[in-house]
Amino acid sequence: MSLDSIKPSRGRPKTLDRDHILDVAMNSYWKENIANLSLNEICRRSGVSKPGLYREFSNEDGLMKAVLIRYQEQVLGPVQQMLNSDVPFREALDNLISFAASVSCHDESPNGCLFIKMRESRTHLGEATRAQVDFLEEQGLVTFQKWVERSKAKGEFSAEMSSEFAATYIDAQLSNASSQVARGEDPQMVQKILVAALSILK
Amino acid sequence: MSLDSIKPSRGRPKTLDRDHILDVAMNSYWKENIANLSLNEICRRSGVSKPGLYREFSNEDGLMKAVLIRYQEQVLGPVQQMLNSDVPFREALDNLISFAASVSCHDESPNGCLFIKMRESRTHLGEATRAQVDFLEEQGLVTFQKWVERSKAKGEFSAEMSSEFAATYIDAQLSNASSQVARGEDPQMVQKILVAALSILK
DNA sequence: CGCTTATTGTACCGCCTGGTACTTAATTAG
DNA sequence: CTAATTAAGTACCAGGCGGTACAATAAGCG
C-alpha cells in the first residue's frame, strides 16, 4: 500500500504519496551532497507542496529519519541478512567488498553508502536523524562482531584480534571505501584498496 | 610582516590584518563543519567588516583558497618535509601515524586534517579552492610515492606492491583516520586501526 | 442540500546567506 | 589648506532557507 494504512471514512481523500516522496528524497540525498539539498528542492522534485510534506514528516529531521529507515530496510537489511546467514566467511567478505566498492542508487554518478554519508555529516543532522544514525552504527558493529565470532567458531577466521576490534576495523574500511566512491574515485581502485586493507583478516 | 607587503605612500593606512583573519578562518573551518560556517560569522569572529574581507579575498572562494594555502604552509609542509628527508621508513611511518591520529588545531574538540575535510566537502567548494585541493592531493600522492620509492631503494620497504599503489593506499588510510577523528572517534582507536591497516607495508 | 471532517496548496513569515553601493575617515602631495 | 588617494564600515540588495496561517477543495453523513 502506498498511501496511509488506515483510511478515515470521511474528509478529503489523501493524494499525497508517502512512498514516492521517500523515494525521491532518498535518491536525492544519496547522490547529492546532503547539506546542499533543501526541503524546497525535495518538494519541487516530488511534486508535493511544502505544507503537505510537513504534515507527513513534521520537519526536515523527520523526513531524513524516515529516509534513513527506508534505506536500512531496502539496502542495508539484505547485507546484514547475508552476514547473519551461514555463507562462508571469505565469500561473505567478498560480497561485502563488492557491495561497498560499488554502492550507487542508479546509473547516475555513484555516491557510496547513504548511511555513511549521513554519518559523515553527523554534525548538521537533526536530533532524530542523528539518533537513528547512532542506532544503525551500533547495530552494524554488533552485526560485524557476531559475524566474526561465528566465523571464528567455524574456523574460517584465524587472524589474532578481538572480534570487537575486527568489527571496528571492518566498519572503518567500508566507511573509507564509501567515502572514496562518493568522492568520485575509480571503483576498481577503491576495491583494490579495500581488498588490501581487509587482507589482514585471515 | 602582517600587513600588506607594498605600502603605498598615500591614502588611509591599512589596518586590516590579513594574517589574523586567516588565523581565525583557518581555525574555524578546521574545528567546525565547513558548510555551516558563513562569511558573516568569520567577519564577526575576526572583527572585520564584510566589505573589508571582500576587498582582501575577493569572495568566499578566495578566502578558502588562502586558508588552504596557509594550512599547507603551516601544517602539511613540515610533514612532507619529513617524508622528503632521510628519516628511516619505519620511523617516518610512525610519525605519520601519530600525526594523522591526532591532528587538531588547539585543545578544542579535535577535528582531523583540514585538507582532508575540504576534500570530503569537495562538491560545495568554490572553483579556486577546489583546484587547490586537487593540487595538494596530487602533490601529496607524489610525495608518498617518492618516499616509498626511496625507501625501497634503501631496502626499508619490501612489501610487494607498486609505489603508486602504496601511495594511494597510504593516502586512503590517512584520509580515513582523519575522518574518524573528525567524527569524534577515540584517537587511540583511530591509531590502532591505522597501525593495523598500514601493517601491510613491510 | 448543508455540515463536518480531512487534505490540499497559495502565499506568506522571519532569518540568514553571499555580495555590493556608497559615505566617511585617514593619510600624503602640492 | 585643499585636493587626491586609499581604506574603512554602514546599510542595503536579491535570493534561498525552514516553517506556517489560512482559505479552498473534496469526500461522507444527516
Digitized pLDDT (tens) for each residue of chain A, 202 residues in all: 444 456 777 889 999 999 999 999 999 999 999 999 999 999 999 999 999 999 999 999 999 999 999 999 999 999 999 999 999 999 999 999 999 988 876 666 668 999 999 999 999 999 999 999 999 999 999 999 999 999 999 999 999 999 999 999 999 999 999 999 999 999 999 999 999 999 999 8
pLDDT at A3 (0 to 100): 44
Closest-approach residue (CA) in chain A for B117: A120
Q: Which domain holds residue A162?
A: 61-198
Q: What angle do CA B81, B115, A68 make, to 5 degrees?
A: 145
- Is B60 domain-assigned? no
CA dihedral A97, A102, A104, A110 (to 10 degrees): 140
Give the three cell numbers for residue A97.
Answer: 567488498
Confidence grade of residue B102 (pLDDT, cut at 50, 70, 90): confident
Cβ A171 vs Cβ A141: under 8 Å: yes
In this complex, the residue of B36, B124, B172 whose CB is nearest that of residue A124 is B36
- Say if the Cβ atoms of B124 and A192 lie within 8 Å: no
Long-range pairs of B22-26 with CB within 8 A, sequence gap ≥ 24? B22/B66, B22/B67, B22/B70, B25/B63, B25/B64, B25/B67, B26/B67, B26/B70, B26/B71, B26/B105, B26/B114
- Is A158 domain-assigned? yes
- Is B14 domain-assigned? no
Residue A121: list chain B partners with CB under 8 A.
Answer: 33
Residue with cell 607524489: B142
CATH classification of the domain holding B177:
1.10.357.10
Q: Mind listing the pLDDT tens digit for each residue in B38-48?
A: 999 999 999 99
Whole-number distance in Å between A51 CA and C3 C1': 26
Cβ A180 vs Cβ A193: under 8 Å: yes
What is the distance between the alpha carbons of residues A115 and A77, in angstroms, rounded to a whole number? 12
State the nearest Cα–Cα gap between A5 and chain B, in angstroms: 38
What number is the ipTM of this complex?
0.92
- Is A39 domain-assigned? no
What is the distance between the alpha carbons of residues A98 and A174, in angstroms, rounded to a whole number? 10
Cβ A115 vs Cβ A121: under 8 Å: no
pLDDT at A107 (0 to 100): 62
pLDDT at A5 (0 to 100): 55
In this complex, the residue of A124, A173, A193 whose CB is nearest that of residue B35 is A124
- Is A175 domain-assigned? yes
Q: Measured between alpha carbons, how far is residue A72 from residues A67, A77, B129, B179 in Å? A: 9, 6, 35, 22
Confidence grade of residue B5 (pLDDT, cut at 50, 70, 90): low
What is the distance between the alpha carbons of residues A132 and A110, in angstroms, rounded to a whole number? 24
The tally of domains found in chain B comes to 1
Closest-approach residue (CA) in chain A for B174: A176
pLDDT at residue B121 greater than cutoff 90: yes
Residue A179: list chain B partners with CB under 8 A.
Answer: 120, 175-176, 179
Confidence grade of residue B103 (pLDDT, cut at 50, 70, 90): confident
Give the three cell numbers for residue A39.
Answer: 526541503
Residue B36: list chain A partners with CB under 8 A.
Answer: 35, 123-124
- Is A138 domain-assigned? yes
- Is A78 domain-assigned? yes
- Is B99 domain-assigned? yes
Cβ B16 vs Cβ B56: under 8 Å: yes
Establish if B12 touches chain A: CB-CB under 8 angstroms: no
